[in-house]
């Protein structure tokens, strides 16, 4: 009796086809610039671009495996797709790890022994996760004046025996001033930073369902004041506090850093307290609130994203507000009457030589943030005589740094410059 080998061969053919098509399709998608703008977007397309960028090494490998299997099964047309995926993935990694960056010029780093900062812009497994961090959850850093509402943060500290850098970081999460919370997809990032001796407080500032923009800014300054007051006990030099954040958190970090001595933007309970910082790191920040009027769609967030966000407790029960309703919540007037307020609460309005050292990190395929605004903010800082650098990552979307840090070329490429910036501030 002749043995039938057709079913194993069919399974191998299906596997080969799946590997080659997946590699070619997802790596090809990385090169496509989004046509949508603002918070309303193609959820699947956005997710695939974020995941594809983080998993580009895996996709390139899948392409090569699929190519080898295609040769074995004598299917050159399928193998061509595998070759395409492998080459596109490799080219993407090469582009991402040679971004346009002026960090080395603006913030030179002295060589030092035993440094745990990244030695390359990308390498599998190079992100430090040992020694483990010491984490204290839900530390009260302030109470909202006139209420019993505690403001909480998570305190991340290096393990005993790790040399301290004297740097303390106040980190602010993103979420369009209305969603998400502390401790969302940031643990690998924080573990890497504490392995270098940095201390971090991950701040749960109030959002639009509780307060306005001035209230949020006040929470940020309260967090800075707390870290500076408690710094010596935590191994932090109060003169080496750094603000950091992404998206809306990046906006608040920049605004708090640039208005530290301005009583107009400082709540009464910390007025007269030193809330100045040594530096600020802003991933894909909002630089000018006025441009969001045209850049953000008035359509609601995708219903699947809204449902998932509500179920996880990261979105308000009213859902993600479009910009016109959100701006009214943040500033207390219809959007048509807010030009002055939008400018007043934009980092671009507070540029000057007083600004602390600033590192901006921006993906050039970002559909949420007006990319030219961030580039313009950098130009203005340099023109004003402030220390500033920008990292421009080609083909990179919004929130690219939150997925698979251990293998992600764009996340590691950005972290490479963050490491050097923080090392510069510590020396």
Peptide bond into 131 cis (omega under 30): yes
Q: Which two tokens stand for residue 137?
A: 């959850």
Looking at residue 41, what is its pLDDT?
A: 63
Cβ–Cβ contacts within 10 Å for residue 60, how many?
Answer: 21
Residue 137 burial by Cβ neighbours in a 10 Å radius (0-12, 13-18, 19+): exposed
**Distances from the Cα of 414 to the Cαs of 59, 173, 231, 289, in angstroms?**
21, 17, 27, 24
Per residue in 89-145, pLDDT (tens digit) is: 999 999 999 999 999 999 998 766 456 889 999 999 899 877 889 999 999 999 999
**Distances from the Cα of 124 to the Cαs of 59, 391, 412, in angstroms?**
14, 21, 10
Phi/psi of residue 179, each to 5°? -145, 170
Spans of all domains in the chain: 6-96, 105-426
Name the DSSP class of 322: P
Per residue in 31-83, pLDDT (tens digit) is: 999 887 877 667 788 999 999 999 999 999 999 999 999 988 888 899 999 99
- Could you give the CA distance from residue 361 to residue 189 in angstroms, rounded to a whole number? 15
Distance from CA of residue 200 to its chain's centroid? Answer: 15
393: closest CA among 126, 122, 101, 186? 101
What pairing do the DSSP bridges indicate for beta strands 388-393 and 357-363? parallel
Is residue 246 within 8 Å of residue 283, measured between CB atoms? yes
| Residue 420 reports pLDDT greater than 90 | yes
Instruction: Provide CB contacts within 8 A for 153, sequence distance 6+.
Output: 138, 139, 141, 182, 201, 202, 203, 204, 223
Instruction: Provide CB contacts within 8 A for 2, sequence distance 6+.
Output: none
- Could you give the CA distance from residue 393 to residue 50 in angstroms, rounded to a whole number? 13
Class of CATH domain 105-426: alpha beta
Per residue in 392-407, pLDDT (tens digit) is: 999 999 999 999 999 9
Q: Which two tokens stand for residue 213?
A: 């923009």
pLDDT confidence band for 8 (50 / 70 / 90): confident
- Could you give the CA distance from residue 82 to residue 26 in angstroms, rounded to a whole number? 11
Per residue in 139-176, pLDDT (tens digit) is: 999 999 999 999 999 999 999 999 999 999 999 999 99
pLDDT confidence band for 5 (50 / 70 / 90): low
Phi/psi of residue 118, each to 5°? -60, 135
Per residue in 238-290, pLDDT (tens digit) is: 999 999 999 999 999 999 999 998 999 999 999 999 999 999 999 999 999 99
Instruction: Provide CB contacts within 8 A for 91, sequence distance 6+.
Output: none
| Residue 386 reports pLDDT greater than 60 | yes
242: closest CA among 188, 182, 167, 186? 167
Q: 91-130 burial, b if ≥16 CB within 10 A, otherwise e?
A: bbbebbbebebebeebbebeeeeeebbbeebbeeebbbee
Phi/psi of residue 168, each to 5°? -120, 130
Is residue 273 within 8 Å of residue 261, measured between CB atoms? no
pLDDT confidence band for 1 (50 / 70 / 90): very low
| Residue 300 reports pLDDT greater than 70 | no
Per residue in 176-200, pLDDT (tens digit) is: 999 999 999 999 999 999 999 999 9
Task: Give CA angle at 95 (30, 97), nearest 5°.
Answer: 115
The strand pairing partners of 136, in sequence order, are 155
**Distances from the Cα of 87 to the Cαs of 56, 73, 81, in angstroms?**
11, 21, 10
Cβ–Cβ contacts within 10 Å for residue 247, how many?
Answer: 24
Is residue 372 within 8 Å of residue 288, measured between CB atoms? no
């Amino acid at each position: 009796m002749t043995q039938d080998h057709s079913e194993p061969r069919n399974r191998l053919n299906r596997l080969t086809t799946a590997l080659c098509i997946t590699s070619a399709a997802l790596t090809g998608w990385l090169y496509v610039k989004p046509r949508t703008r603002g918070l309303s977007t193609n959820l699947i397309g956005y997710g695939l671009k974020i995941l594809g960028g983080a998993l580009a090494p895996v996709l390139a490998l899948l392409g090569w495996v699929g190519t080898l299997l295609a040769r074995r099964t004598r299917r050159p047309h399928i193998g061509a797709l595998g070759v395409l995926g492998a080459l596109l993935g490799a080219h993407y990694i090469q582009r991402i790890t040679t971004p346009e960056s002026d960090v080395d010029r603006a913030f030179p780093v002295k060589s030092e022994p035993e440094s745990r900062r990244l030695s390359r812009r990308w390498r599998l497994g190079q992100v430090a996760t040992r020694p483990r961090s010491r984490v204290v959850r839900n530390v009260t850093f302030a109470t909202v004046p006139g209420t019993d509402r505690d403001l909480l943060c998570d305190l991340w500290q290096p393990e005993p025996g790790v040399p301290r850098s004297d740097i303390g970081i106040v980190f602010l999460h993103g979420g369009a001033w209305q969603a998400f919370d502390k401790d969302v997809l940031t643990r690998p990032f924080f573990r890497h930073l504490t392995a270098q001796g940095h201390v971090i407080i991950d701040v749960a500032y109030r959002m639009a369902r509780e307060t306005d923009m001035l209230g949020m800014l006040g929470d940020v300054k309260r967090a800075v004041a707390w870290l500076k007051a408690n710094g010596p006990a935590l191994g932090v030099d109060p003169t080496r506090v750094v603000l950091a954040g992404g998206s809306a958190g990046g906006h608040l970090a920049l605004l708090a850093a640039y208005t530290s001595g301005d009583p107009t933007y400082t709540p009464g309970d910390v007025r007269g307290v030193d809330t100045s910082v040594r530096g600020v790191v802003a991933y894909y920040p909002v630089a000018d609130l006025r441009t969001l009027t045209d850049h953000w769609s008035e359509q609601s967030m995708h219903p699947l994203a809204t449902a998932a966000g509500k179920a996880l407790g990261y979105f308000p029960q009213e859902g993600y507000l479009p910009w016109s309703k959100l701006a009214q919540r943040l500033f207390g007037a219809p959007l048509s009457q807010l030009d002055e307020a939008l400018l007043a609460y934009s980092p671009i309005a507070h540029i000057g030589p007083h600004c602390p050292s600033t590192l901006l990190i921006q993906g050039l395929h970002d559909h949420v943030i007006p990319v030219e605004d961030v580039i313009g903010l950098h130009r203005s800082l340099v023109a004003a005589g402030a220390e500033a650098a920008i990292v421009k990552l080609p083909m990179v979307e919004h929130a690219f740094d939150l997925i698979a840090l251990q293998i992600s070329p764009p996340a590691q490429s950005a972290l490479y410059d963050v490491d050097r910036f923080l090392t510069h501030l510590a020396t």
